[in-house]
Amino acid sequence: MPNIKELTDLTTQVRRDIIRMVHKVNSGHPGGSLGCAEFFVSLYQELLETKEGFNMDGIGEDLFFLSNGHISPVYYSVLARSGYFPVEELNTFRLLDSRLQGHPTTHEGLPGIRIASGSLGQGMSVAIGAAQAKKLNNDNHLIYSLHGDGELQEGQNWEAIMYASAKKVDNLISTIDLNKQQIDGSTDDVLPMGSLRAKFEAFGWTVLDIEKGNDIEAILKGMAKAKSLTGKGKPVCVLLHTVMGNGIDFMMHTHAWHGKAPNDEQLAIGLAQNPETLGDY
Amino acid sequence: MKTYTYTEKKDTRSGFGAGLAELGRTNPNVVALCADLIGSLKMNEFIDENPERFFQIGIAEANMMGIAAGLTIGGKIPFTGTFANFSTGRVYDQIRQSIAYSGKNVKICASHAGLTLGEDGATHQILEDIGLMKMLPGMVVINPCDYNQTKAATIAIADYDGPVYLRFGRPSVPIFTPADQKFEIGKAIKFTEGTDVTIVATGHLVWEALEASKVLNEAGISAEVINIHTIKPLDNKAILDSVAKTGCIVTAEEHNFLGGLGESVARVLALHHPTPQEFVATNDTFGESGTPVQLMDKYGLNSDAIIKAVLKVIKRK
């Protein structure tokens, strides 16, 4: 049984990492990162079946692809705290000569990253390719991917969504971070997308909602359900209802912190709301 | 002077199809993807023999490039197939981020390049693809000249670990390279020895360069014809060794002069051995409908145009 207290403590520490990283370089994307902290912790601590060390081909293990690469702070923090690279390296986020580029990349050889992302809308196609390679290799492990909801405005997603069901890519769980925010405002203001459930279902996917997307127990339960739905001829979509900026009160429920770093005072408030649990890097 | 003849004409895309079929038999990691142009890309033989290793993507080239990138994660060697226009300009950012920047072992195989696509017109006749692809860091760019060379190149790129752009065409053109040739990426091939002018050509223009060299030879001009099938990485040494002897050069390609082989050659010469150069290429223009021969004549991409360029460049020595 997962130890929820330990996962919660790790999530609190990840939140500290996120805002400290973006504060130090006065750039980066804290809002979406904070909203997905519980998901990443659940994914890397409980869900993914992985091998020791990092191998690009990932044969015999579950793989994860981040399509909305701008939430790199949460990705880097959770990868480091899951043992992929030293936690101290978080200090180098967005600095010259760092492996922790503004957006994730394979280019600098950072363990844990299998594709560059940042230019939006490309990750689902890549995840599908990796899923089809698993089938060719008779590898029964799963592909997980994460996408922003605003990112679904990119047309390539719909090519991929159409293809995945047509080709019965049923070893794929694509999660949509449904925070209903994007840079210029709420998704309903910028470009309303209607019912994502109806759209994915119309395209032939199995869809399930995780209404409490910032609740670790709800995520674990929902993702276990999602996993049970794989292998049945359809790709699986998880609509993860999250709060952008979760865990830092003044950053919550707004797009304002999509790509903005806190100042010294705001950092202090955010850190006070998330007391150190595992030790800062 | 060594002269070249041919007994058969064939399209270079069929060379790709034959090479892909051979890879299907010899390399179990090779997989193929197509965006609804199987027949045009001559991929049928591979598909018939390896249906489980073929992915019909539908008319969705962006998705195809992403899926190809993903297939490499798991050890596959994906060959994507569609027209050159839809292999490059349409999906530039997908190639840039998911393939080139990510360092993925994808072979982007592009047919119907250039004006010789013919009657479909400018919407399909890309003359900018070499430039687009050679600008991507780490991308290898290859434009073979006939059926045999295209087949050999297709087979060779499977053994190279990294992204490759392989460009070929639609019309039947003379087969004049040997069937048993070994294709070396980045290694130019000297077809004729000459002393008065260097002609560096790629793709369909190589045969035209050889035809031009025959006429020039009869007029007492000794032309050294070099086939640059790999535009990136460029065989600098082959070019510099030749111009050290001839003192002038003509580059010939079925592509805009902006971004093409000619510009790559000009850079090498500017850095190491400034040399008079003339460019046989399209002149910053779109194409139009017509037969391949009509188009190559109208846009100055044939042996006559090469001869004119040679006569001009020799005077600039």
CB neighbours of residue B267 within 10 Å: 12
Report the number of distinct structural domains present in chain A.
1
CA distance B236 to B137: 18
User: Is residue B211 over pLDDT 90?
Assistant: yes
In a domain, A279, yes or no: no
In a domain, B242, yes or no: yes
Contacts of A59 in chain B (CB under 8 A): 74-75
User: Which ipTM value was assigned to this complex?
Assistant: 0.97
Per-residue pLDDT at B7: 87
B157 and B198 share a domain?
A: no
> In CATH, what number is assigned to the domain containing residue A215?
3.40.50.970
B139 and B42 share a domain?
A: yes
In a domain, A278, yes or no: no
Per-residue pLDDT at A32: 98
Give the helix ranges, DSSP H, for chain A: 4-25, 30-35, 37-42, 72-81, 123-136, 155-166, 187-190, 196-202, 216-228, 264-272
Q: How many CA atoms lie within 13 A of B288 on its CB side?
A: 7
* Nearest residue, CB atoms, B74 vs list A59, A123, A125: A59
Per-residue pLDDT at B187: 98
> In CATH, what number is assigned to the domain containing residue B144?
3.40.50.970
Q: Identify the residue among B30, B31, B52, B73 best suited for mutation to test binding to A, counting A beta carbons within 10 A and taking the highest.
A: B73
Inter-chain residue contact B65 with A125, CB threshold 8 Å: yes
CB neighbours of residue A264 within 10 Å: 7
Of B292, B316, B312, B87, nearest to B205 by C-alpha is: B292
B170 and B209 share a domain?
A: no
B169 and B201 share a domain?
A: no
* Nearest residue, CB atoms, A115 vs list B74, B78, B98: B98
Which residues face B110 on adjacent strands?
Answer: B82, B167
In a domain, A281, yes or no: no
Inter-chain residue contact B73 with A133, CB threshold 8 Å: yes
| Minimum distance, in Å, between the CA of residue B124 and any CA atom of chain A | 21
B25 and B163 share a domain?
A: yes
For the segment B114-136, the average pLDDT, to the nearest whole number, is: 97
Contact by Cβ (8 Å): B261, B253 = yes
Q: What residues of A are in the B interface, CB distance below 8 Å?
A: 56-59, 63, 65, 105-107, 114-119, 122-134, 136-137, 139, 155-156, 159-160, 162-163, 166-167
Per-residue pLDDT at A127: 98
Range of the domain at B32: 9-174
User: Is residue B1 over pLDDT 80?
Assistant: no
Contacts of A113 in chain B (CB under 8 A): none
In a domain, A166, yes or no: yes
- Residue B104: pLDDT band by 50, 70, 90 thresholds? very high
Nearest CA in chain B to A113: B102
| Minimum distance, in Å, between the CA of residue A260 and any CA atom of chain B | 24
CA distance B112 to B126: 8
Inter-chain residue contact A132 with B71, CB threshold 8 Å: yes
Q: Identify the residue among B27, B52, B67, B80 best suited for mutation to test binding to A, counting A beta carbons within 10 A and taking the highest.
A: B67
Inter-chain residue contact A167 with B55, CB threshold 8 Å: yes
Where in the sequence numbering do the catalytic residues of B fall?
A: 61
> In CATH, what number is assigned to the domain containing residue B214?
3.40.50.920
In a domain, A277, yes or no: no
Rounded to the nearest 5°, which phi and psi values hold at A249?
-55, -40
* Nearest residue, CB atoms, A156 vs list B31, B58, B62: B62
Inter-chain residue contact B69 with A126, CB threshold 8 Å: yes
Q: For chain A (length 281 residues), average pLDDT per consecutive 10?
A: 95 98 98 98 98 96 98 98 98 98 98 98 98 98 98 98 98 98 96 97 98 98 98 98 98 94 98 97 95
Interface contacts (A, B; CB < 8 Å): 118
Contacts of A122 in chain B (CB under 8 A): 62, 66, 93-94, 97-98
**CA distances for A132 relative to A116, A144, A152, A223, B70, angstroms:** 19, 13, 22, 21, 8
String of DSSP letters for B106-149: -EEEEES-SGGG-TT-TTT--SSHHHHHHTSTT-EEE---SHHH
In a domain, A213, yes or no: yes
CA distance A70 to A84: 19
B275-296 pLDDT per residue, tens: 999 999 999 999 999 999 999 9
Per-residue pLDDT at A261: 97
Contact by Cβ (8 Å): B15, B142 = no
Contacts of B52 in chain A (CB under 8 A): 136
Q: Identify the residue among B27, B54, B63 best suited for mutation to test binding to A, counting A beta carbons within 10 A and taking the highest.
A: B63
In a domain, A280, yes or no: no
B203 and B263 share a domain?
A: yes
In a domain, B183, yes or no: no
B206 and B154 share a domain?
A: no
The percent of residues in chain B predicted with pLDDT above 90, rounded, is 98
Here the tokens at position B310 are 């040679």
Domain boundary among B143, B174, B205: B174
| Minimum distance, in Å, between the CA of residue B120 and any CA atom of chain A | 25
Inter-chain residue contact B76 with A133, CB threshold 8 Å: yes
Average model confidence (pLDDT) for chain B? Answer: 98
Contacts of A136 in chain B (CB under 8 A): 31, 52-53, 74, 76
B131 and B195 share a domain?
A: no
| Minimum distance, in Å, between the CA of residue B291 and any CA atom of chain A | 34
Inter-chain residue contact B75 with A116, CB threshold 8 Å: no
In a domain, B180, yes or no: no
Report the number of distinct structural domains present in chain B.
2
Domain boundary among B147, B174, B201: B174
**Burial bucket for residue A253 (CB in 10 Å: 0-12, 13-18, 19+):** middle
Q: What residues of B are in the A interface, CB distance below 8 Å?
A: 31, 52-53, 55, 57-58, 60, 62-76, 78, 93-94, 96-98, 101-104
Inter-chain residue contact B98 with A139, CB threshold 8 Å: no
Contacts of A123 in chain B (CB under 8 A): 66
B67 and B197 share a domain?
A: no
CA distance A89 to A106: 16
Domain boundary among B174, B200, B221: B174
Contacts of A163 in chain B (CB under 8 A): 57-58, 60, 63, 67
**Burial bucket for residue A273 (CB in 10 Å: 0-12, 13-18, 19+):** middle
B39 and B165 share a domain?
A: yes
CA distance B216 to B223: 7
Q: What residue has token string 């001869």?
A: B307
CA distance A13 to A77: 9
In a domain, A40, yes or no: yes
Q: What sign results for the dihedral spanned by CA atoms A58, A60, A61, A62?
A: positive
Which residues face A64 on adjacent strands?
Answer: A144
B212 and B306 share a domain?
A: yes
B113 and B260 share a domain?
A: no
Here the tokens at position A114 are 């299998």
The percent of residues in chain B predicted with pLDDT above 70, rounded, is 100
Per-residue pLDDT at B2: 83
Range of the domain at A83: 4-272
